[in-house]
Amino acid sequence: MVSCHNLLTHNTNRKIMSNYKVVNPRGKEIFTDVTIHPGEILQMELAARNIKKMEFAELLGMKPGHFSELLHGKRHVSAITALKLEKLLNISAEYWMRVQVYHDLFVERTKELKVA
């Protein structure tokens, strides 16, 4: 189990993840017909690192109930939350925001298709 102290100390020499895109052989970006909420990714990341959700919620400065809603896709990752995630997990704020925006766009496009 990773303690909260160790989590923060390991992040002093952080490296930010690069921006990646999935492209076809011609270099055109490929989009998928599935989406994943950043909360689901966060939940998997915490499990992979053996970090307790309650402790992590406290580090983020979130109420446990709000954090649970984030993990279950009922709350969005805000810019301030993305910055906190970057600091705590060494995963860039841009990554978290990009996942949130892609998810939001996917949801809205799906709604559009259902209406049309």
Q: How confident is the model at residue 37 (pLDDT cuts 50, 70, 90)?
A: very high
Q: How confident is the model at residue 33 (pLDDT cuts 50, 70, 90)?
A: confident
Could you tell me if 76 and 69 are in contact, meaning their C-beta atoms sit under 8 angstroms apart?
no
> To the nearest whole number, what is the mean pLDDT of the chain?
85
Q: How far apart are CA 102 and CA 77, in angstroms?
A: 12
Taking residues 23-48, what's their average pLDDT? 89
Question: Can you give 51-106 as a three-state secondary structure string?
Answer: CCHHHHHHHHCCCHHHHHHHHCCCCCCCHHHHHHHHHHHCCCHHHHHHHHHHHHHH
Q: How far apart are CA 6 and CA 104, in angstroms?
A: 33
- Domains detected in the chain: 4-16+37-115 (1.10.260.40)
- The DSSP bridge partners found for residue 29 are 23
Taking residues 39-56, what's their average pLDDT? 98
